[in-house]
Chain A
Amino acid sequence: DTGVSQNPRHKITKRGQNVTFRCDPISEHNRLYWYRQTLGQGPEFLTYFQNEAQLEKSRLLSDRFSAERPKGSFSTLEIQRTEQGDSAMYLCASSSFGQGDNSPLHFGNGTRLTVT
Chain B
Amino acid sequence: GEDVEQSLFLSVREGDSSVINCTYTDSSSTYLYWYKQEPGAGLQLLTYIFSNMDMKQDQRLTVLLNKKDKHLSLRIADTQTGDSAIYFCAEKPGSTLGRLYFGRGTQLTVWP
Contact = CB atoms under 8 A, between A and B. Distances in A.
Interface residues of A, number: 29
A102 interface: yes
B24 interface: no
Given A31-B98, A33-B99, A102-B50, A42 B104 contact: yes
A42 B88 contact: yes
Contact of A102 (B31, B44, B101): B31
Contact of A107 (B40, B43, B99): B43
A42 B105 contact: yes
A4 B42 CA distance: 10
Interface magnitude class on chain B: 20 to 34
Nearest to A50: B97
A56 to B, nearest CB: 6
The interface centre, meaning the residue of A91, A102, A109 with most chain B CB atoms within 10 A of its CB, is A102
A92 to B, nearest CB: 8
Contacts of B88: 42-43
A65 B48 CA distance: 32
B77 to A, nearest CB: 22
9 contacts: A33-B98, A33-B99, A48-B97, A50-B97, A102-B48, A105-B100, A107-B35, A110-B41, A112-B40
Contacts of A112: 40
A87 interface: no
Interface in B1-27: 4
B4 A42 contact: yes
B57 interface: no
B102 A42 contact: yes
Given A42-B104, A42-B105, A43-B43, A104 B48 contact: yes
